[in-house]
Structures are given as C-alpha cells and as structure tokens.
Amino acid sequence: MKPSPPEITVLIPTLNEEENIGKLINVINSILTKEKMLYEIIIVDGNSTDNTVKLAKEKGATTILQTEKGFGNALIQGFEQARGTYTLTLDADFSHNPETIPQFLKERKTADIIIGSRYVKGGKFKISLSRKVISIFANKTFSLLLRVPIKDLSGNYRLYKTEILGKINPECEHYDILQEIAVKSYKQGFKTKEIPITYIFRTKGNSKLIVRKYLKQYIKTFIKLWRM
C-alpha cells in the first residue's frame, strides 16, 4: 500500500545556513505535527560550503543540490519535486517567522496563493531605512504600473496550491521570480490573498552590492511583465 501523499510541501532554498537550518526544521516539524498535517520538507541547497546539507539530512529533510545558480532556479527546482497539495516557501534565516505557518494553513482554501505581506494592515518589517525605502518604492511601482492589486510582490513567504505552479510556469532565475509568479498568477485569473507578517532582515552581507546586482534584472523583468 502506497503512503498517502503529503498535504504540505515546505520548500526552503539554502546557502550556508548551518546556524539556522536545524533549528528551523525543528520548529516546522513541531508546528506541522501539532496541526496534524502530512508534510515533507525540501531543502534546495546552492552548494553550501558549511554543514547545511548534513544538518538538514539529519533532521529528515529531503535535500536537493541546486544545478543552476540563482534564487529563482532554486525555487523552480523545488517546485518540480514538490508532492504536496500545497507548497509553502520561506527563507532559511528566520527572517520569516515559522510560527506564522498556522495562519497560512488556516487560509489555504480561500485562495490559490497566500502571500505573507509586509504592506497590508498589521504587516511590519524591521530593516534599515534605505532598504525600507527601496522595498516600498519597488513594490508600489510594480503594483501600480503593472495594474496588479497585490501590495507585496517581492516577498517569499507564500503558500501556493501546487497544481497552479505548472500552469504559471515561472522562468526568472533570480529574486525577480517572485514578481513574475505574482503577476502571471493574477493575469491568469488565479486568486491571491495577502495576510500580515512581520519580516526581520538578517543583518548579514552587503546591501549595496545586492541592490546593484539585481537592479538590472528587475528592470528586465518589469519590461517582460509589462509586455504581457
């Protein structure tokens, strides 16, 4: 007798997250066990040089080594392996509070995509002022000019009906995949709902480098989505 397929796939892209991944999986295991959900956890790792993969395996997660560079490619690779009726995505560094997962599950039948939003009533984010300004400007610009009634187009804390991901067929290789999915889903008539979350940016890395690196890609994505 074949085991029942999972109700939820939890998909987490990782890169050198040995300080967080074990703790995060423990919290997710505890939450979904309490919710009495059949689930699987998939880690798509971008060739970490630390013990991220080892720790994830020890905690029982399915681990996949990323074959193409880029955050978008990590999500696409994970989507292809997801067996759950729903797929939950979140970051590995606790910038997305896993304790919010029950709220996503509670809303899962109300829309095709549930977005954890920083910009709806009750949503918050704790980041530097410069990042906050850039984030607000980018999201409002995309939403207004693309005529998409979604306030948080760039957040990765989401719950998808897995079956729609193949219909959306995301292609972007980097973080702009998040805008691509949101815009394509709206244009194809899928229902999106935003629920408030608190986002806490992990103070690691060079923010100026990140902005410069992805700015051109965001512009290309905007042009591509505008043509839709």
**Rounded-to-10 torsion of CA 220, 222, 223, 226:** 160
For the ranges 81-95, 132-146, 147-161, 174-188, the lowest mean pLDDT is seen at 132-146
End-to-end CA separation in angstroms for the chain: 46
**Shortest CA distance to 156 belongs to which of 92, 223, 105, 109?**
92
pLDDT of 21? 97
pLDDT of 136? 75
Alpha-carbon distances, residue 172 vs 100, 129, 145, 178, 204 (angstroms): 27, 28, 20, 9, 25
Rounded Cα distance, 94 and 92, in Å: 6
Residue scoring higher pLDDT (207 or 131): 131
Rounded Cα distance, 160 and 89, in Å: 8
Q: Is the pLDDT of residue 199 over 90?
A: yes
* 51, HSE (Cβ side, Cα atoms, 13 Å): 7
Q: Which amino acid is at 203?
A: T
Query: Tens of pLDDT along 39-61?
Result: 999 999 999 999 999 999 999 99
Tokens 């290309």 belong to: 220
**Shortest CA distance to 202 belongs to which of 10, 7, 69, 15?**
15
